[in-house]
Amino acid sequence: MLVVFFILAFVAVGTAVSMLVTRSSIYAALFLVLNFATVAVLYLILGAPFIALTQITVYAGSVVVLFLFVIMLLGAERLPGGESLKWQRLVAIGLAIVLSADFGVKMIGENTMLTSVTAPPEGYGAPAEIGKILFTKYAFPVEITAVILLVAVVGAILLAKPDEKPSVREGLRKKMDQEG
Amino acid sequence: MDEKLSPIVTALTERFGCEAQEFRGEISLILPAEKLTGLLQSLRDEFSFEQLVDVTAVDYYPQEAPRFHVVYHVRSLSQGLVLCVRVPLDGNAPSTPTAEGVYPSANWYEREVFDMFGVTFTGHSDMRRIVMPADWQGHPLRKDFPLGYEEVQFTFNFDTVTKRKPQPKE
Amino acid sequence: MIGEVILEALWKGIAVLLFLTAGFAYLTLFERRVLARFQVRLGPNRAGPFGLFQPVADAFKLIFKEELIPSYADKVLFVLAPIITVIPSLIVLAVVPFGGPINLFGKMVNSYVADVNVGILYISAVTSISVYGITLAGWSSNNKYATMGGLRSTAQMISYEIAMGFCFIVPVLLAGSMSLVDIVQHQNETMWYIFMQPGAAVILFITMLAEVNRAPFDMPEAEQELTAGYHSEYSGMKFALFFMAEYIKVIAVSVIFVTLFLGGYHFPFVDQIPVIGPYMGPVVMLAKTMVMLFIIVWIRSTLPRIRYDRLMAFGWKILFPLALLSVLVTAVVVLLV
Amino acid sequence: MDSIPVSYLLALSAVLFVLGILGVLLKRNALVVFMSLELMLNSGNLAFISFARSFEAISAQVVVFFVMTVAAAEVAIGLALMVEIFRTKHSIDLDQMNSLKG
Amino acid sequence: MTDIREVTVDELKHLVSERAAQGETMLLNMGPQHPSTHGVLRLLLELDGEIVVSCIPDIGFLHTGVEKNMEAKNYQQAEVMTDRLDYLHPIGNNLVYCMAVEKLCDLDVPPRAQAIRVILAELTRLGSHLIWLGTSALDLAAMSVFLYTMREREKILDIFELVSGQRMMTTYLRPGGLWRDVPVEFEEAVYKFIDHMPSQVDEYQDLLDQNELFIDRTKGVSVIKSEEAVRWGITGPVLRAGGMAYDLRKALPYSTYEQYDFDIPTRTEGDIYARYAVRVDEMRESLKIIRQALNKLPLGPVRSNNRKYVPPPRSELGVSMEALIHHFKLWTEGFTPPVGSVYAAVESPRGELGVFMESDGSAKPYRVHYRTPTFANLQIMPLLTRGYFVADVVAAIGSIDIVLGDADR
Amino acid sequence: MGVEQKLGNMGVVTTRLEQLVNWSRTNAMWPMLFGLACCAIEMMAAQAANYDMSRFGMELMRASPRQSDLMIVAGRVSRKMGPVLRRLYDQMPYPKWVIAMGDCASCGGVFNNYAIFQGVDEIVPVDVYVAGCPPRPEGLIHGVLTLHDKVNHEKLSKWA
């Protein structure tokens, strides 16, 4: 189990680093997918099959595909990477180190109260269980999320819609008619 | 001559001073290049020759002036008439005004005449070669352009012809 | 104990893979013969008796064909894309039961590779990642036709996935479980879901055709506009993998459809046949799948291709609301009954 | 079967989070910045799931579910914005998005 | 062999929109080897997403130099070339060539020959429409229609083979008549075909007319009305689908078409579906013409008696010295028409097919020019596609029924 | 050009392999959609119901040269088309074959002039010439079968 975890952790960190290092947006998106997939496997190990498969469906199946779609649509495969200001980079790395150190200290300090993960008990994380709690205890958040999604969809449509004439096609036809 | 055609031809010959020829019931009007656009305009607007059927040319090489005749056929769909208009051109840098303004369909026909005979049409919107490759040398339908005949292989010259034939790489 | 479990999963997995690959090979022949019959022709009949070795010939030819990688292509993704396309289509059937529990050498064996309690979610997850192969193939070829094919298929698959997801919910609501084993069992106890919810069944069938890019939704490889679409630049085995993925997906969606709406491996009275009855599950499944495949080929031979903008409008403006409606109706009925 | 200490999982989550921060701070390509954001959300999810397993609390899984939904909504809006910005500026370089009017 | 010379964007700047230079729109090269360009047409499409902004047709990939080659052959030899121009309509090409020569030489054609010409020309029209129907349905991926139409076309080809020995390039029509009389089985074979054919046309219509997808892809797409079509020199079904009932067979009847009773099918919409409907109706009208011509097929000779231009029948060669001399002269030197130029035109399945022929008094034509319908009709491709989708380009190409041999010559 | 280079001389095994591969190549020879002129119509006729080339596994007409094995040059090749044809031939993966269908593709046919290549064998190597103007579908099928015969006699050493 531990071996599996280390392999997965290695892959997850590796893909995350590669995502940051690569200069091609397409490759970055693909590394992100791999990262999500490894994390999904971790979820499976942690007894959350529902969340794991939702993760793959939502993140790998829709979110990153959208990313890829937009990259291809814009033709933005190769754009400048992290060539930003020198001090900004140094500060960022410094902050990262501080954050990691903070985490490490906390982790070592309070390790005792956390248990180890073993095989999950029967029925833990089953869809029925999640569904029950989702629609009773968390019914209100579900509604709010639904509204957020709706707003997002409407907003996305409004944003992506070409603002001028009804459509490019109509405009072209009109222009053609004028020219005769 | 067709009775419907004759008043039209008379009117046109008077107005534009062109020469009318008849052969097998078909009328050809011969007129200089500069009057062409006006003639076509009045043909379309006054005599309802709505459609330009064809533009082509004939090369009378080695005769030099005129060496080319650019031949226009216009058709009246409503009256069922065809009229031929010929424009004689000199052999040296032949050029004539385009009929594109009157009949938009002249665009490709004139490109073809340019491609095949080297007659340029002034005012044409897109004077490029149309059927031959863009880097082709010469104008194939001129009479001084060789047919490009390839020798027929017989037993006696089989090897010599084969030797001349290009062979592709695998 | 654990070794035994792994071994069992292994041989069952291999059995499913063999079924799919052999099925793929003979589906191509089946399609070519049936299509030929629709078109008053004979179809391939020279390779072996009745052309039965035709798939073998195709396979050997493709194996011994030169593999070209265009010089402007993105080499890594160009090679990876066919593999990414094939794998989801191969693993999607892991949760489908092919028959009831059978007695094999004195041991009761279940006829599925795995019974996951989120089986339907597994299917939708796997189908949702199958879009990658096509998108990347189109992009990495560095060919305008291929890129357009890839973009088209991405948009198409994402759009139809939504309606498909809603159609998946209908059996889940009816059976009260996400496990395909439970769904089939419930259909056996009550009736086939296609009789309960014919609307959802039809929508699911249409969306599945679109999801696997079959006629009349074969936009990404619309031969008449995009030459060969996303696999324009592929040759040899890499092309064969795309070919394989496409046909395996067709088999897979047929099997899934049969499982969700046509009662899976059940058929009235078949399991009461003495002696062989319990073993008839896979045979029934195969027969039902064949019927589905025949319908798919029939559609291909009859219908023209839908235009791309109409395809998207159809998915979003017609199928999506209808699927939503059928979920609503099902939910209300399940709640009241 | 041996077990995985939860602290390992949390450490992994922390590392991924830090990498996400680095991406957000250092990258100039808006799309990659977006991806880094997703990575950070994901590492948070991982921590949630670990705690859920550790404390046998199914509620944490539900929270992850919400996070995913909101992330999906965010991506939809963000990418729509990106397309719109690209249409006017012909670039998705963050350094050039410094004016409020396009 | 030269390499492909790439045409730069600069050369085409005046043809594409300004946005192409900035890379906002995509330039897509369709053809010359593309499954749905019906041969070797090349279209340079400027696309905004999936929408066509501009379309630049490039022809000439099948330029055969026929006109030049005909100048090097005498009148009989040159006819062989004409079959291969519009290879879906070979007998019509022969017909218009023969009509031009006959006009040039003032030749008469006996009525039996005229009637057989009509029958064969209409059969060719049917065959051409069948190919068009099949391939343009195939462009919309309705693949079965193609195989059904090819099945019926084989029956037409069998009739051609019966009369001439060749399936496609028959060269059966000759100046002054026919090559020889039709065999006795001809009438029975044609009757059999025209009795059988209407049900087949119904079958095609069953497959397409009720088909929502087909209607969806054809109605309201690539509209061109007749006024604009006339300005652009469009003829044939494309013109008639726009609302103008203009058909050379009615307007300027040739080959005794005036004797037959038939209608000119028209539509007013001018879209792809209208062109489809016009052509399908034309198929039925052609069957009507064939039946009438066959019912009153006159007896008599099939070749003109003018021995200056038409070779004598083989039976005369053994008994008449004069016939032998004519035969020898005609097959060695050829005939010499008077000086002058003529224009003859027929209604081909695609529109007006005309021949401009100039003679300088020698045995070889001084200039032969084919006015081909495809060349004229192809010119409006930019109009037909601008503002529509890429998929509509394919349907539009199919709907104007192009034959590249006809356009490039 | 696939794995065969690595096999070397293995006697009986390779002979069997040779037969098998040649058999598969003849039975799954996918032609490229390459209609040029008149002959293309007869090629279509050969594909269609009455003649049905699909019997030989040839109905999978590929639009992409990458996936085709056989180029049937159906019709005359003009000077403008020649370079395109050669490029398409170069894009096809080995092993590839060419059938020159009809007189024009074989030798220029009746068009002995400036515009037409006097035989497509000036541009690409041709395996089988089919005579006729245009050849009947039977003629094309005979040409294809002749090519099958030729392929069946190919030696393993020739593949690489």
D1 assigned to some structural domain: no
Q: What value does the mean pLDDT of chain A take?
A: 77
- The CATH number linked to E128 is 1.10.645.10
Residue D49: how many other CB atoms lie within 10 Å: 27
Which chains, if any, share at least 3 CB pairs under 8 A with chain A? C, D, E
CA neighbours within 13 Å on the CB side: how many for A49? 20
Per-10-residue mean pLDDT, chain E, length 409: 53 67 72 71 80 84 86 87 86 90 88 90 91 84 82 89 88 87 89 90 84 82 84 87 87 87 88 89 90 89 85 84 87 87 89 89 89 88 84 84 84
Do chains A and C touch, with touching meaning 3 or more CB–CB pairs less than 8 Å apart? yes
Q: Mark yes or no for CB contact C304/E141 under 8 Å.
A: yes
- Using DSSP's 3-state secondary structure scheme, residue C213 falls into coil
Q: Mark yes or no for CB contact F113/B147 under 8 Å.
A: yes
pLDDT > 80? residue F110: yes
What is the pLDDT at residue D15?
85
- With contacts defined as CB-CB under 8 Å, which chain A residues touch C116? 49
Range(s) of the domain holding residue E112: 75-304+337-371
Q: Is B26 in CB contact (< 8 Å) with chain E?
A: yes
Closest CA in chain B for residue F83: B133
- With contacts defined as CB-CB under 8 Å, which chain C residues touch F64? 227-228, 231-233
D73 assigned to some structural domain: yes
Q: Which helix (H) or strand (E) holds B85?
A: strand B81-89
What is the pLDDT at residue F10?
52
Q: Mark yes or no for CB contact A169/E383 under 8 Å.
A: no
pLDDT digits (tens, 9 = 90+) for D66-96: 888 888 888 888 888 887 777 776 666 666 6
Q: Mark yes or no for CB contact A119/D32 under 8 Å.
A: no
- With contacts defined as CB-CB under 8 Å, which chain F residues touch C228? 62-64, 66-67
Question: Which among A50, C122, A66 is positioned nearest to D64, based on CA atoms?
Answer: A50
Rounded Cα gap, residues E178 and E181, in angstroms: 7
Same domain, E243 and E153: yes
What is the pLDDT at residue E20?
64
Same domain, E25 and E83: no
Q: Region A29-49: what's the mean pLDDT?
A: 87
Q: Mark yes or no for CB contact C224/E394 under 8 Å.
A: yes
Q: Mark yes or no for CB contact F55/C63 under 8 Å.
A: no
Q: Mark yes or no for CB contact B150/F118 under 8 Å.
A: yes
Q: Which of F76, F89, F113 to mutate to test the interface with B (most CBs of B within 10 A)?
A: F113
Q: Region C287-306: what's the mean pLDDT?
A: 86
CA neighbours within 13 Å on the CB side: how many for C331? 10
Same domain, E110 and E242: yes
Q: Mark yes or no for CB contact A168/E383 under 8 Å.
A: no
Structural domains in chain E (count): 2
Domain ranges of chain C: 70-336
User: Looking at C1-10, D38-47, E118-127, E373-382, which range is the least confident one?
Assistant: C1-10
Q: What is the full DSSP assignment across A81-92?
A: -S---HHHHHHH
What is the pLDDT at residue D54?
78
Which chains, if any, share at least 3 CB pairs under 8 A with chain E? A, B, C, F
Rounded Cα gap, residues E143 and B146, in angstroms: 45
Could you report the predicted ipTM of this complex, rounded to two decimals? 0.84
What is the pLDDT at residue A120?
66
Q: Is E33 in CB contact (< 8 Å) with chain F?
A: yes
What is the pLDDT at residue A82?
47
- With contacts defined as CB-CB under 8 Å, which chain F residues touch B140? 114-115
Domain ranges of chain A: 1-78, 138-180
| Cα-only R_g, chain A | 23
Q: Is B40 in CB contact (< 8 Å) with chain E?
A: no
- Using DSSP's 3-state secondary structure scheme, residue F8 falls into coil
pLDDT > 50? residue C297: yes
E378 assigned to some structural domain: no
- Extract the tokens encoding A40: 């999904």
pLDDT > 70? residue D2: no
Rounded Cα gap, residues A122 and B146, in angstroms: 91
B-E contacts (CB, under 8 Å): 106
Where is mean pLDDT largest: A108-122, C199-213, E48-62, F4-18? C199-213
| Cα-only R_g, chain B | 20
E14 assigned to some structural domain: yes
Closest CA in chain E for residue C219: E391
- The CATH number linked to D60 is 1.10.287.3510
Q: Mark yes or no for CB contact F122/B133 under 8 Å.
A: no
Å between E98 CA and nearest CA of chain F: 19
Å between A178 CA and nearest CA of chain D: 27
- Chain E 83-112, CB below 8 Å of chain C: which residues? none
Burial of C44 (0-12, 13-18, 19+ CB in 10 A): buried
pLDDT > 50? residue C311: yes
E330 assigned to some structural domain: no
What is the pLDDT at residue C224?
59
Q: Region C102-123: what's the mean pLDDT?
A: 76
Rounded Cα gap, residues B45 and B8, in angstroms: 13
- With contacts defined as CB-CB under 8 Å, which chain A residues touch E49? 168
pLDDT > 50? residue C309: yes
Q: Which residue of B131, B145, B168 is in closest CB contact with F122?
A: B168
Using 50, 70 and 90 to split pLDDT, how confident is the model at A177? low
List domains and CATH numbers for chain B: 6-164 (3.30.460.80)
Q: Which of B23, B28, B52 to mutate to test the interface with E (most CBs of E within 10 A)?
A: B23
Q: Which residue of E63, E131, E147 is in closest CB contact with F78?
A: E63
**Which CATH number does A1-78 carry?**
1.20.120.1200
**What is the phi/psi pair of residue A126, to 5°?**
-70, 150
Q: Mark yes or no for CB contact C305/E140 under 8 Å.
A: yes
Q: Mark yes or no for CB contact A13/D86 under 8 Å.
A: no
What is the pLDDT at residue F159?
57
pLDDT digits (tens, 9 = 90+) for C19-36: 888 888 888 888 888 888
| Cα-only R_g, chain E | 22
Q: Mark yes or no for CB contact A60/C128 under 8 Å.
A: yes
Q: Tell me which amino acid residue C43 is.
A: G
Q: Mark yes or no for CB contact A176/E48 under 8 Å.
A: no
- With contacts defined as CB-CB under 8 Å, which chain C residues touch A33? 129, 132
Å between A60 CA and nearest CA of chain C: 6
DSSP bridge pairs for B88 = B69
Which chains, if any, share at least 3 CB pairs under 8 A with chain F? B, C, E
Burial of C290 (0-12, 13-18, 19+ CB in 10 A): middle
What is the pLDDT at residue C221?
60
pLDDT digits (tens, 9 = 90+) for A131-173: 888 888 888 988 998 898 888 888 888 877 665 544 555 555 5
pLDDT > 60? residue A79: no
pLDDT digits (tens, 9 = 90+) for F49-68: 788 888 888 877 777 788 88
Same domain, E212 and E171: yes
A-D contacts (CB, under 8 Å): 244
| Predicted model pTM | 0.85
- With contacts defined as CB-CB under 8 Å, which chain F residues touch E168? 38, 41-42, 134
Å between A125 CA and nearest CA of chain E: 45
The residues of C whose Cβ lies within 8 A of any Cβ of A are: 74, 77, 116-118, 121-122, 124-125, 127-129, 131-132, 135-136, 139, 147, 150-151, 154-155, 158, 161, 177-178
Closest CA in chain F for residue B153: F107
Å between C157 CA and nearest CA of chain E: 17
Report the 3 state secondary structure along chain E. Answer: CCCCCCCCCHHHCCCCCHHHHCCCCEEEEECCCCCCCCCCCEEEEEEECCEEEEEEEECCCCCCCHHHHHHCCCHHHHHHHHHCCCCCCHHHHHHHHHHHHHHHHCCCCCHHHHHHHHHHHHHHHHHHHHHHHHHHHHHCCCHHHHHHHHHHHHHHHHHHHHHHCCCCCCCCEECCEECCCCCCHHHHHHHHHHHHHHHHHHHHHHHHHCCHHHHHHHCCCCCCCHHHHHHCCCCCHHHHHCCCCCCHHHHCCCCCHHHCCCCCCCCCCCCHHHHHHHHHHHHHHHHHHHHHHHHCCCCCCCECCCCCCCCCCHHHHCCCHHHHHHHHHHHHCCCCCCCEEEEEEEEECCEEEEEEEEECCCCCCCEEEEECHHHHHHCCHHHHHCCCEHHHHHHHHHHCCCCHHHHHC
Q: Which residue of B133, B145, B167 is in closest CB contact with F79?
A: B133
pLDDT > 50? residue F45: yes
Where is mean pLDDT largest: C9-13, C239-243, E112-116? E112-116
Structural domains in chain D (count): 1
* Helices (runs of H) and strands (runs of E) counted in chain B: 4, 7
Using 50, 70 and 90 to split pLDDT, how confident is the model at F14? low
Same domain, E214 and E264: yes
E137 assigned to some structural domain: yes
Q: Region B53-64: what's the mean pLDDT?
A: 86
